[in-house]
Structure formats: C-alpha cells, structure tokens
Structure 1
Amino acid sequence: MSVSSLLSALLVLASTATASHFYGGSMTFSSRKGINGSYVVDIRFKQSFHGCDTYDYWGCGSGNCGSKSYYVSGRVDSSSYGGSWCQTEAVMKRTVPNNSPFQLHQISCCWIYNTVTTGGNWQLLTQIDLGVRSDTSEPNRSPVATTLPIVRVPQNCPRNYNLLSCDQDHDQVRCRYGDLSANECGMCTQHAGFTLNQDTCTLSYGNSSVGGVYAFELVMEDYPTQNINLNYTAMAGVVRTPFVAGSSNPPLSKIPLQFALEVEAPAPSCTEGEYLPRFIHPTPHHGEHLQARVNQELEIRVKATATYSSIIDVVFSGPLNSTKEITTTGEYVINWTPTSDNFGQHLPICFIAEGLYGSRNYQSEMRCVIVVVEAEGPRAQVTCSRDTMSVSIERATISGIHGDHLRLNYNASCLVSSNSTHVFTTFSLTGCGTQVEETEEHLIFKNTIMTFDNPNHIITRKNEIGIEVMCKYQKKSSITTRFDAHRQAVNFTERGFGSFSYQFEFYQTGSFNNMRSPNTYPLEYNVGQPIYMEIEPVNLVQNTEIFLESCVASPSDNPTYPISYPIITNGCGVDETVHIYTSHESSVKFSMEAFKFIGQYDQVFISCSIIICQANNPNTRCAQGCTNGTVIASSSHVHKREAGIQTGSHFISQGPLRLKRSASLTEAISPSLNLNLVFVAGCVVAVVAMVCGIIFYKSRGSKINYQLLKTNEI
C-alpha cells in the first residue's frame, strides 16, 4: 500500500475511530480449498475500543486478497475498570482465486490516551500464505492467539505475562516488536522496564519509575521445525526453514497481537491471594487444551480468591457468541457452543480476575486455554419438566458402553435403562445425585450418565463414557409456580412396628414453635446463624422413642454421595456447634451454626440416619446414646436387633439450604484454607421457566491421565 493510500485511509477513519480510542487487536486465520482452484480463508479478528463497534476497514496490503463472502461481528466482553473498554470479534470469510500469499492491513488513529508515549496512530498487519505445505499437504494455519485489551500491574510487583503461543501445525512460534517500516505498528515503542522473550512469547515487567498506559504492538510469527516446501498453483514453490538467530529467513505467517498495559500505583502486597486475586480450583491451568463438541455447550469455570480485596469480575477474551455468568458460589462460567463451521478449529480464550479494595482495582495473572472443537457427540433428547428430567440417547451415537451397566452420578440405585436402539432414563431434579446451580439468570440441574463394573461398587476401571445432562431454567418473576424443594415426610415399614412416617423440619428459633414454611425453601442462612431442626413422627407412635444416629451435610440428599461434612456420628456431636436438645423422646431436636463449604456446589442437604426403639428399654441402641465409636460391653447385644425392640437405620433428609450472598464473605476466606469442603448455597426460591435440556459428552479412552494440582490450588 502506498503512503498516499495509507494517509487516505487514515483521514477516512479518523473521525470515527478517534472517539473510540484503540486498546489493541489481533487476527488469526485458517483456510480450505474451494472450487475451481480457489481458496476460502476463515479469519477471526478482535479489536478493542472505548465503544463496542467493530471497524471492518481491512485493506489489501499486497497480493490478491480476493473478496469478502461472509462477515459477522459482535461483543465479546467489556469492563468499566482501568478505562472503559469493549472487545469485539468479527468472523470473516474471504474467497481468493489461488493460494498465493497476500497481506491484510488496517490503520487509523488513535491509541488510548497514553501518558507514557502521548498516544498515536495504530496499525495492524496480517500476512497470509496459503501455499500447500509438504509436511501436512494442507495450507499453513496461523498461530492461535488472543489477549485481554488491557492488563494492569502495580508498580512494585514484577509479573510475567505468558502470551498464548499455540500452533495447530506444531510450528515454532515467536513474538517480536512490530517494525514501522513494514507497517506492523503505529508507534513501535520498545518500553524500558519490560523484557520480551521472543522464543516463549513471555512479556516480563520488572519495574518502572513511570506509571501509566503502555502500548504493546507485537507481531507473532510461525516457523517450521524442519525444512519444508510451499507449493502454489499460480507461482513457483518456495522453501521455508526453521528460525535461526541472525538470519533473514521469512516466517510462514505473521499476525498482530496488540494490547495495552497499565502500570498502576504500588500495592500494599504483591503476594497473590492478598490484594491481587489468585485463581483456585476449578480454574483451568494456563495453556490447557479443552475439548468441545459441535452443537454442545462448553463450560469453562473460573474462580479466584483474595483475602483483602473482593472479587468483582472475571473479564475474558474468547470466540464470538461466548457468554459469561456468575454462580452463587462465586464461580464465573464462560459458555460457548461451537457450530459445524468450527469443527477442527483451535480457538483461544484468555481471562483475568479483578478484585476491588476500596477504590483500587487489582488484577490476577492472565491465563489462556485452547478450545479444540471435535465432532458432534451423542444425539439425545432431554425433556425438562417442573420436577423431572427425561433423557433419551441414540445408542448408535455412543461408543464404549459395557453391556447395560449404566447409572446416574454417584448413585448405585439410580440405574439407566437401555434397549437395542436407545439409552433412556427419567429422574427427579432433587434426587439421584442431581446437582443444582444458581446464576443470576438461571437455575441449572445437572447429572451424569456413566458406565460402571458392578452396581454395588462406587468405582470402575472400565469407565469409557460420561454423558452430562442438564436442564437450564430461566428465573421468571411473572411465573407463579415455585420449584418444590421441600422434602415430604418419609414412610417406613418395619416388622414389629408396622408402618410409620417421620418428617424433618426447620424452625425459626430454639423454641421450636414456629416451623419454616415449605413455601420458603430453599432456606437462606448467614454464616454463623443458628439452624434449628427437628425430626418427629407425623402421627405419634405410642411407646416409641427416636435415636439420632448420624447426620451429615452434603450437596446431595443421597446418603452415599462422596462429599459430605459430618455433623453427628454414633449419636455424638462432631461439629463443635451442634447441640442436641432431646433424648429418649418421640422426636429429636438439635441445632448447629450455618457454615460455608468452599467449592463449586450450589446446594446443601442435611441428611440423617435415625433408629426407632421401644421406649424405656435399656437394651436398645436408643438407650445406649453417644458411643464415640465404641460399644459398651454389657450392651453389645443391642446391635443384634430383636424384632419389636428397635428398627434398622433409616435415612431422612431435608433441604436444600443456601448461604445468603454477601461481599464480605470473599474477604473472610483465607487462601490457606483447605478447599475440599463444599457448601451452603442452594437452588433458588425464585420462580423458574424452562429454557432447554442440554447434554455434554465426555469420552474417555482406556488410558486415564491424572494431573496433580499445584499446592496453591488445593
């Protein structure tokens, strides 16, 4: 492009782009052969400004750039902290007549107001070479790259930014500063206080005496790891060689990667997890490859903690049509559903957690993952009703089923049926280990269909599949029907006792006179608030008493659920706040203080095991009381139950409960706490309307790889 052409483009765009203020941009591409020798180039480019407009003013810098055959754009994410920015992504298809190299170029004014370099023009340039590679027999694909529009670091806190540098062709990826003479940048400044490792694409901040916004205009290039030929239909082939320092051998392609970095006032501490947010489980690791399937929603769960600052947001850069929600447990869920056009693509997603302390906003490290889009998974129909989920899956679309050994998540009693054509099941939204999650807009119920070896075992070494099914309901205040969370009375039948019913209820106070209404479930509690509970017969059974054998708190009302917190064991209070009010009576009253499990579950049930005994009989388990795990010798025969003296253990549960949301909770959680407990958030009292039923397919090979968590993520 001539200098006059560049100036013309600059003048045309200045009136619109100037008001937006540029925060950076990037572009990636892949291609496929079209008809009559043509090629279709799939291009994704991101740009960030103050506003959410996409400027599609890409000009042809050199070669034959063909014509645009498809274009769609939209907002990815935005933030009001660190300057108000909005990132958009556009997906563009260009049809070119042959596979000869060409360049796309864009230029305008101005970078975000910059106290370090006083602002200036910006330029983006992408070099696309569609020559057929001799090693893959396909055209070259660019590196996979994206970044947040602006990253921020306190002046006194050294930090490394590991820029995503992944290549689908397994080429060597390098990063360098843009060259003004090649139209790769607008200001082309290499800032003091920063170092760029070109081999690893790592930008390191050491220290700077000057605070403010720095513009980084980088170029990402890929080189083959061995000598290869590039063959063309309209020109002679060329040889491409690996990168050698000091040589001038050209890359296979080059793409822009530009963003802003702000050096802020010093922080009280540079330790992650104090003022600067620290990522915790289940946040994926940097560089991790995540599997996605065509037409099936992908979830990426991100969670961060900080002792002194409050986590207020997770900002991200991802593919067009990705969305973000926050759950009641403080997890941010990034969702994206690939289409058939995305099959085979590798797409990047980067994210940063933001924490607020007073008027200061602090950022975590930036993490990036690669989403690998695979073929569509099992064909299924999920039907969501008011209180059940029904699933029917075409058996021909599932591989690796071991006979008919299928069941629902962690529940040996909830088996899944199958015939020669389909796998099918219907289960309650509140049973069979179904997990409940609440976001600001949705109520989500999830379960997993999995294979197993033996219906009496909770482990398997032949687990080939896991099909996660989900019903997502949208909260609608205009709907009058409530989700029926309250558990009804439990009916028992025992020889010598006949049939009887017991109910598990919660009360407002320790007087046990004001029962919590079933219409108010799930119940809400503050941390430390007393929870008053009573298990009593629906109709009084003469000459009987109840013994509270054990109680646990768990995200499920399934007694075999693998995650639980003991409250009462062997009739003895295990939790230090437990108080048992009654003994040797027809009902049992007890209380404890509400607490917080840490993790990804959105509900808690209080589940208890009770024994009904003949009243005033010293030979029963009820009479023995708390044993602390031991049995008194003279009374050891009480475990050999006699008909008419005592019943077996019966399971009864109530819930779910949820913890009231409060900004202070985040500040109260120390990063040194053990993160293997999970609580008190529950499904919402709000009314719901059905949105959809969705499946997630997680295929597993015979070899299962395990990865240890870093100690700071346990």
Structure 2
Amino acid sequence: MAASVVLLAGFFVAQCLSQDFHGGLMTFMPARTDQDGTVLMSFVYKESYGAQCQHQFSWVCDSGDCGQIVFSEVGDADEDTSDLGLWCQSEGYILMNSSSDKPYSLRESGCCWASNVNGASNWTLITYIDGGKRSDTQYMNRPPVITITPTIRIPQNCNSTLQFLTYDPDGDNVACRYPYCESCNQRPDFFLDEQNCDLYINGSSSLGMHVFDMVVEDYPTEIITLSYNDGETSVRNPGSMPLSQLPLQFSIQIDQPLESCIPGDVIPQFLSPTPAKGDVLYTVVGSPIQFTVRAQAASSVIYDFQISGPLNMTKTFHSYSYGIAEMEVNWEAQDPDLHKYVPFCFTAETNISQSEMRCIVVIVIKSTLQKGEAEVSCLQNTISITLKKSAMKDLEITNLRLKDSSCSLTSNESYIMATVSMNSCGTELEDTGDYIVFKNELYSVEDPDAVITRKGFVRIPFSCSYPKVAQVMASFKTYKSDFVFTESAFGSFSYSFDFYTDNTFTTKNATSTYPLEVQLMDMVFLGINAYSDLPRVQLFVESCKATPDDNCDNPLYYDIIKNGCIEDQTVVVYKSNDTQFNFEIEAFKFNGDYNEVYISCFVILCETDSPNSRCSQGCMQKPVLRRRRQASVETERHYISQGPLRFKPASRSSDPSDHGSKSVSITTKYTIGFVGLFLITILVLAVVMVCKAKTRKHKAISQNALLSNTGSEG
C-alpha cells in the first residue's frame, strides 16, 4: 500500500512538472565539410520551464537525409533560485553527420504547456536546414542567431515592444512570422512586425500566460544560387523561399497593472555599462570574456537577472542602494565554439516586474584582435577620430575603412583622420539606459590584388556617449532649465519651457520669481522652444496636462492638450515659427487642499514637411493604434515640465468708509438678491442633474478634477 502511494505521488509530481513548459527553440551552425562530401552540422536548442528545468526534447528526422547523431549533451544554463522560482532554461547540443548536403528538417513534439490563456497543450518545433553552398559566400548558409529568456513578464497596463534577436552572420534579411497551420498558437491581439521581428503588446491583453509559436527565416539580399554535391542547383530570391527556418516558441505572462510604467521606477531600467541592444562582442578560445549588466528600479527591489546563454557561463549578482543592482557574466569559449556566434539575452527581475529584454552576440575568433590607439572628439552632431600611425606598424589609409566604406578618410605624415555624423558612415546608435552612445569603427581590409598578406586584422572601435536626459537646475529653485536629448537621426537637441510676462512672449519670468504667484482667472503665458542644429525641424506639442505636484503620474490631473487637440476652452495658441509653441491659459487650481499647479508636456521634433510624421497629423481625436514611429523623420516623445504656479488670495478692500450707515440697506439688498439667486441656482442644478444622468457615469479622473475659477481660495 505504501509503495502504491509513493508511486502515485511520483506520477502526480511527474504530471505537474511536465505541464510547466514555457517555450523552446533551435538553431544550427555548419561545423565542416569533409572531402568525401560529409557534412558535420552543430545544433543548439533550448528548453524553457517555470520552477524546475526538464530535459524533454528528443529531436527526430522529419524529412530528408538527416544523418546520424555523433555527439549530444544537455544541461541547465540558468534558473531562478529564489522562492519565486519563475524560470529555468536548459541548453542542449547535438552534433550530426550527414552524407548529403540537400535540405532536411528536424522535429520535436511533446506536451504540455503551462496553464495558458490560449488553451494550448501540445507543442511542435520544426527546424529546416539547407546545406547547399552559396554563390555569394562560397560557404553553407549560416542561419540567424536567436535566443530568448525563459520568462517574459509584462504589466497589463503598460504598452511594450518585444524585440527579438535577429543577428544574421551572412548579412541576410531576417523575418519572423506565425506558422501556417490552424492549430498553431497565433495571437491577433498582439501585433507582429514580421520584417523587423518586433512584437507589440498594447496594454489591454487579458491577464495570464499567452503562448506563441513563431518561425524565424532568413532571405538573401540579392539573387543567389545554392550548389549541391550531386551537381544540382537551386535559386534563392529575396523574399521567396527562405534559406533556413528556425522554430521559436515562447510565452508572455501578462501581470497585474502597475502604478507606473516608466522604466527606472517600478520597472527596472538598464544603466551603463550594460551592453547595448544588438551589441557584438569578440572573444578568443580559452580566454574568458566578462561583461556587466546594471539596472535600477527606484521603487522596487531587483533580486536577480534572468539570462539566456551558453551552458558553462556563470553570473554573479550584486545589490546596491537606490534600487541599483548588477550582474557580472563570465564565459570561456572552448575549441568546439570556434567561429560560432553565441547569443546572450537578459532581463532584470523584481517580484512584480521585469525590465525590457536586451540581447547581444559574442563571436568566437581564433586569435586576439590587434587594436589601435585613437583620440576621439565628441561634438554636438559629429564624431572625429585621429589615429596615430606610429601606434600601428605599417598602417596606411588605403588599408582602413569605416563601417560604411563609401565614407572617406584623410591623412598626413603622422595621423589618419575621419569625421562622421550621428546618422552617416555606418554610425550606430546604442541606448544604454542612462546614455545614448553613437559608435563606429575603423577596420583593415586586404589588398585585393595581393596573393599573400603578413598584416594582422586591425579593428579600432570608437564611440561617443551623451547623457540621455540632461537637466540642469538653476541653484536651489523650482525653475527647470533646458531639457537636452540625443537621438541618432536628430543629433543633440533641447527644449526650453518657460512662463512669460505677457502675450508678446518676449520676456520670461525671472528664475528668482519661482514659484510664480498668480490669482485665479489671471492669464498665464507659456512658451516651449526647440533648439537644434538641423535646419529643417518642426516642434509638435502632443499633450500637456496639469497636476497638483511635480509627479506626472499623479492620478489627479487635468488635460490641457491631448493627442494634439486643445482640451481647455480658455487656451489661446499664438502663431509662431516651426520651433516655437506659445499659448496662454486662464489660471485655475485643483479643488481640495491644493495650492499649486505644475504643467507637463510631451513634445516631438519632426523633419519639416514630412507627410508621415506625427507633426503633420496634428490633432487626432481617435489616435491610430500601434502607430510605428519613423526614427528618420521624428524623434521619440520627450517629457518636459515647468512650475509650480502658486495661488494667492484675491485682494479685498479694508476701507472703513465701505461700512457704517449704508450697512443695513446693503444687507437688505444682498438678502433679497441672495434669495432670488438661490432659487435660480436650485432650478439650474435640477436641470443639470437630469442632463448628467444621461451622460456617461464614469469619466477619467483627469476630467473629474473640478477646477475652481472663482475669486476665492475655495
């Protein structure tokens, strides 16, 4: 009897564990081709689970000549060791030997997904491999480098974008799509940008786990031919038949809404020196590589970092004050890793939130890169590099290129020089959380007419870092000075937000007068100015709202401008140039024990006359959902604020002559007038209550914040 109980308990435990699948994937890399035509292919797959890892995957040949497995191993790569037990991911490695280089596919099927909104139970992953030799590279195709963290968590009320790692070693175009099958887990309430492999979550999805089946494919950028050992060929066109197909299955947990969706508050935000999204690092076999991931969540506690990486990596966690934590990642490539492209994806974790997922690629090379010495000058819109020839033996300008080889270099007897702008010559943008980094590199090229070379490969990366937001306070005042931002297509630009003395908008209120004291119903004059070195830019004020304190997320607010539309009837906008927005508004205050008002706005800078920019769209009563920003024609929405306005009581007369002998008659007149006014007020209120019953019962709290514009303090 006891044995039966033990067996039964073991059965239920096994059933429970098998129903905790969170996703899986597979990718591959050609290892070598022998003289007899035998193809050795290296496969890497990952299994993601909840609290405890399992090794369930057992790949079988689905079609074609798959060959034989010559080596395989599997192990746990990362897990949540806390009491929460939110994730565990294992990695498997398979080495297969095939006598054919013709296309074939592998399949893995199983059960069961963790409890999910889709009602999904079984899974099937199929990997398509084509071993033909490409006409453009003279090698077998190398598929996209992919991975994903085992758990993705997103608050229900926060719009989010999940950007997948899609690095392709051959420079092919990478696309993501849902499989073509009725039983596959497709989610129409999530928008998938197939060309950019971005998944948009609109903040209105139902709570719980959502399961996704996806296929990642690569297509050549031009027409190429695949050649096989038997003499046959196959043509591949851009956008027609893919060169490879990789399965990517994952789950997204939609959690309870949060008080704030701003990164760095409740949701962790990455900080320097965290590698940037899509960064490419290099390492050498036998030499450890280390990188640091740092994040901050001021209003919550980061307890760990989730990471999807190779089997033998290690991570060390450190926690600091002010909500800052960091992880040191170490990995040492072994001989079988040579020439591989190894992906790492990571997130910062709190018990109620998760940071964005950020992914990088580590390329394993045979010998150490030779690096040069350079002096870099970081200007507002350009980066200049000056390289000492003496630092690199036999270095000549003819052997060096920028990322965009069409950009030229200059030189003299001692130096090689180059100047690039923020959006040219292959300059790339990295967002490190607290900095915007623009980077490029100089690298050596071989002489195409030379038969041999005795010069090593030279790689000289250079970059400039700019504070993502620079806001300087004028001594110990509440006045806020210029807001400075940096973006790749617009360089460094700034906004000023000021109160003016009158509607000519020529004289700003002095900083010494802050906080500004006004009376209710006074006219207040505000001006927003944009400053940029680019000649054709346009300022657009998308929204402005008032709050009783300097917290833009305060649930008590009042819309002044919303979606580019004027909401307050007292607002008057004054015509000005493209980089100015001047307006006036009648002073008000919030009902209750509030005596201050702060104004905050979201602003955008656009390329002038661009028909697709947000500036050109103007007022939008019903904004388009999932509108994709074009970084080349408009900036992100940037937050600026100013204030406070402090309210002083209306002045009252204290002249004794206003009283005395006339007091009785005045009181009598006021009493009669008050009675009449009271009766009229009762009648009006009755009409209002009837009308109000026919309107919506619920309005946004912003419009429920009734505003006083009488002459008293309320």
Tell me the distance in 2 between the aligned counterparts of 1:46 and 1:120: 19
* Corresponding residue number in structure 2 for 1:348: 343
* Corresponding residue number in structure 2 for 1:707: 464
1:375 shift after superposition: 1.4
Alignment of 1:421-440 (within 5 A): none
* Corresponding residue number in structure 1 for 2:580: none
* Corresponding residue number in structure 1 for 2:564: none
Tell me the distance in 1 between the aligned counterparts of 2:347 and 2:353: 10
Alignment of 1:198-347 (within 5 A): 198-234=194-230, 236-243=232-239, 249-327=240-318, 330-347=325-342
CA separation of 1:120/1:710 partners in 2, compared to 1, >3 Å: closer, same or farther? farther
Tell me the distance in 1 between the aligned counterparts of 2:312 and 2:392: 31
* Corresponding residue number in structure 1 for 2:93: 91
Tell me the distance in 1 between the aligned counterparts of 2:34 and 2:22: 35
Alignment of 1:632-671 (within 5 A): none
In 1, are the aligned partners of 2:160 and 2:203 still within 8 Å (CA)?
no
Counterpart secondary structure, 2:124:
strand
Tell me the distance in 2 between the aligned counterparts of 1:333 and 1:464: 32
Tell me the distance in 2 between the aligned counterparts of 1:163 and 1:294: 27
CA separation of 1:93/1:205 partners in 2, compared to 1, >3 Å: closer, same or farther? same
In 2, are the aligned partners of 1:175 and 1:201 still within 8 Å (CA)?
yes
Counterpart secondary structure, 1:61:
strand
1:35 shift after superposition: 4.6
Tell me the distance in 2 between the aligned counterparts of 1:81 and 1:463: 54
CA separation of 1:352/1:401 partners in 2, compared to 1, >3 Å: closer, same or farther? closer
Tell me the distance in 2 between the aligned counterparts of 1:219 and 1:163: 12
Tell me the distance in 1 between the aligned counterparts of 2:39 and 2:314: 32
* Corresponding residue number in structure 1 for 2:357: 366
* Corresponding residue number in structure 2 for 1:441: none
Mapped pair 1:193 → 2:195:
no
Structure 1 unpaired stretches of 5+: 1-13, 182-186, 244-248, 379-397, 403-458, 466-670, 674-698
CA separation of 1:700/1:354 partners in 2, compared to 1, >3 Å: closer, same or farther? farther
1:399 shift after superposition: 8.3
CA separation of 1:399/1:259 partners in 2, compared to 1, >3 Å: closer, same or farther? closer
Cα deviation code 1:301-330 (max 9, x no counterpart):
000001110111110001121111124653
Tell me the distance in 2 between the aligned counterparts of 1:81 and 1:253: 40
Counterpart secondary structure, 2:290:
strand
Counterpart secondary structure, 1:341:
helix
In 1, are the aligned partners of 2:270 and 2:434 still within 8 Å (CA)?
no
Return the TM-score normalized by structure 2: 0.50
Alignment of 1:535-554 (within 5 A): none
In 1, are the aligned partners of 2:434 and 2:468 still within 8 Å (CA)?
no
1:179 shift after superposition: 2.5
In 2, are the aligned partners of 1:144 and 1:164 still within 8 Å (CA)?
yes
Counterpart secondary structure, 1:363:
coil
Counterpart secondary structure, 1:251:
coil
In 2, are the aligned partners of 1:72 and 1:91 still within 8 Å (CA)?
yes
Tell me the distance in 1 between the aligned counterparts of 2:469 and 2:272: 9
* Corresponding residue number in structure 2 for 1:54: 55
Return the TM-score normalized by structure 1: 0.50
Cα deviation code 1:381-429 (max 9, x no counterpart):
xxxxxxxxxxxxxxxxx88799xxxxxxxxxxxxxxxxxxxxxxxxxxx
1:85 shift after superposition: 2.7
Q: Aligned match of 1:112 in 114, 117, 122?
A: 114
**In the alignment, residue 312 of structure 1 is paired with which amino acid?**
Y
Cα deviation code 1:468-515 (max 9, x no counterpart):
xxxxxxxxxxxxxxxxxxxxxxxxxxxxxxxxxxxxxxxxxxxxxxxx
1:76 shift after superposition: 1.0
Please give the root-mean-square deviation of Cα atoms over the aligned residues, in Å.
3.1
CA separation of 1:207/1:705 partners in 2, compared to 1, >3 Å: closer, same or farther? same
1:191 shift after superposition: 1.9
1:368 shift after superposition: 0.2
**In the alignment, residue 276 of structure 1 is paired with which amino acid?**
I
Tell me the distance in 2 between the aligned counterparts of 1:712 and 1:87: 36
Tell me the distance in 1 between the aligned counterparts of 2:61 and 2:459: 50
In 1, are the aligned partners of 2:47 and 2:57 still within 8 Å (CA)?
no
1:461 shift after superposition: 8.8
CA separation of 1:280/1:464 partners in 2, compared to 1, >3 Å: closer, same or farther? farther
1:130 shift after superposition: 0.4
In 1, are the aligned partners of 2:132 and 2:226 still within 8 Å (CA)?
yes
In 2, are the aligned partners of 1:17 and 1:110 still within 8 Å (CA)?
no
1:30 shift after superposition: 1.2
Counterpart secondary structure, 1:144:
coil
CA separation of 1:57/1:211 partners in 2, compared to 1, >3 Å: closer, same or farther? same
Tell me the distance in 1 between the aligned counterparts of 2:268 and 2:319: 18
Tell me the distance in 2 between the aligned counterparts of 1:264 and 1:234: 54
In 2, are the aligned partners of 1:102 and 1:129 still within 8 Å (CA)?
yes
CA separation of 1:326/1:314 partners in 2, compared to 1, >3 Å: closer, same or farther? same
Tell me the distance in 2 between the aligned counterparts of 1:165 and 1:463: 36
1:188 shift after superposition: 1.6
Tell me the distance in 2 between the aligned counterparts of 1:49 and 1:349: 18
Counterpart secondary structure, 1:222:
strand
Tell me the distance in 2 between the aligned counterparts of 1:700 and 1:147: 32
Tell me the distance in 2 between the aligned counterparts of 1:141 and 1:672: 35
CA separation of 1:703/1:87 partners in 2, compared to 1, >3 Å: closer, same or farther? closer
1:84 shift after superposition: 3.5
In 1, are the aligned partners of 2:120 and 2:185 still within 8 Å (CA)?
no
| More displaced 10-residue stretch of structure 1: 299-308 or 205-214 | 205-214
Cα deviation code 1:425-470 (max 9, x no counterpart):
xxxxxxxxxxxxxxxxxxxxxxxxxxxxxxxxxx9996669xxxxx
**In the alignment, residue 103 of structure 1 is paired with which amino acid?**
S
1:180 shift after superposition: 2.7
Alignment of 1:356-395 (within 5 A): 356=351, 361-377=352-368
* Corresponding residue number in structure 2 for 1:22: 21
Q: Aligned residue pairs: how many?
A: 383
* Corresponding residue number in structure 2 for 1:66: 67
Tell me the distance in 1 between the aligned counterparts of 2:316 and 2:48: 21
CA separation of 1:400/1:288 partners in 2, compared to 1, >3 Å: closer, same or farther? closer
1:21 shift after superposition: 2.0
Tell me the distance in 2 between the aligned counterparts of 1:309 and 1:178: 38
* Corresponding residue number in structure 1 for 2:41: 41
CA separation of 1:58/1:710 partners in 2, compared to 1, >3 Å: closer, same or farther? farther
CA separation of 1:16/1:68 partners in 2, compared to 1, >3 Å: closer, same or farther? farther
Alignment of 1:512-661 (within 5 A): none
Return structure 1 stretches of 4+ with deviation > 3 angstroms: 14-18, 80-84, 327-330, 398-402, 459-465, 699-704
Cα deviation code 1:316-360 (max 9, x no counterpart):
00112111112465320111111122122111100000124xxxx
Structure number with the bigger relative contact order (C-alpha 8 A, sep ≥ 6) is 1
Structure 2 unpaired stretches of 5+: 1-12, 375-386, 394-432, 436-455, 471-484, 486-714
1:712 shift after superposition: 5.6
Tell me the distance in 1 between the aligned counterparts of 2:315 and 2:388: 34
Counterpart secondary structure, 1:88:
strand
CA separation of 1:283/1:96 partners in 2, compared to 1, >3 Å: closer, same or farther? same
Tell me the distance in 2 between the aligned counterparts of 1:22 and 1:399: 45
1:139 shift after superposition: 0.8
Counterpart secondary structure, 2:336:
helix
Alignment of 1:499-518 (within 5 A): none
1:150 shift after superposition: 1.6
Cα deviation code 1:71-128 (max 9, x no counterpart):
12211111258764310111110000110110000111111111x1123101111000
